[in-house]
Amino acid sequence: MKLKTLILDDEKFSRDILEILINEHCPEIEIVGKCSSAADARDLMKLNEINLVFLDIEMPNETGFDFLNSIPNRDFSVIFITAYNQFALNAIKESALDYILKPINFEELKTSVSKAVDDYNFKCIEQKNIELEELLNQVKNNSNEISSISVLVNGDYRLLNISDINFLEASNSYCIIHMINNDEHVITKTLKEFNNILSKDQFIRIHKSYLVNKYEIHSYSRNNGITIVLNNGRKLNVSRRRQSVFFDAINS
């Protein structure tokens, strides 16, 4: 019997690549569906039996952990898929649960799938869910701020240190990450999503279009509103409604 499998990841590229790798290297499993959100995944699971979930951790609206917490009686295995270097990943490493780092290596994928098949065949799901519950409690009680993020560059994932970000700029449903070294990366996440996951102690939402690393602010002026000058000389305006937030942040 093949394990009926769900892929839950907000990035289409990641979902498609994982599907290709599974079809090429993992004949033990059958992909029942691919979902971009926790809500879609829950709807699919109401209509289909699922034995295995490939689960991204950082997603908009609901994280992978939020999704798991929303399923009261979990009777499936979980393989975490993530490119984020953060507390959550460290917690997973310390547990007996399985994870794969992006970019996905097909040998690691085959090993993880083999473990999931063994768990299913030897009825280990209940014990795995006990370990999963411990992980969820641990994540809930600890910081979940990220120290790096992944970006897709010419088909490959590259990790960017959060401390190397100068500012982030909204661009419709995308986001442009401006680095201290003047590199720019266009990401298929919104500025709001980054505002939710980046440290409020380090990043300030100065405008609907800008999220700034406060440690990169060199100075500011009050002529006709507030304008900040970054260490690289770039000037950005602080919106009127964000001025109090700006002053609270730089004075903290």
Query: Superfamily for 165-250?
Result: LytTr DNA-binding domain (2.40.50.1020)
The pLDDT tens digits for 65-92 are 889 889 887 888 889 887 754 545 655 6
Give the tens place of pLDDT for each residue, 88-130. 565 565 444 678 888 788 898 999 899 888 878 766 656 566 6
Which residue bears the tokens 């661009």?
171
Beta carbons of 60 and 189 less than 8 angstroms apart: yes
Query: For 3-140, which CATH superfamily applies?
Result: Response regulator (3.40.50.2300)
Burial 185-212, CB ≥16 within 10 A → b, else e? bebebbbebbbebbeeebbbbbbebbbb
In this model, does residue 56 exceed pLDDT 70? yes
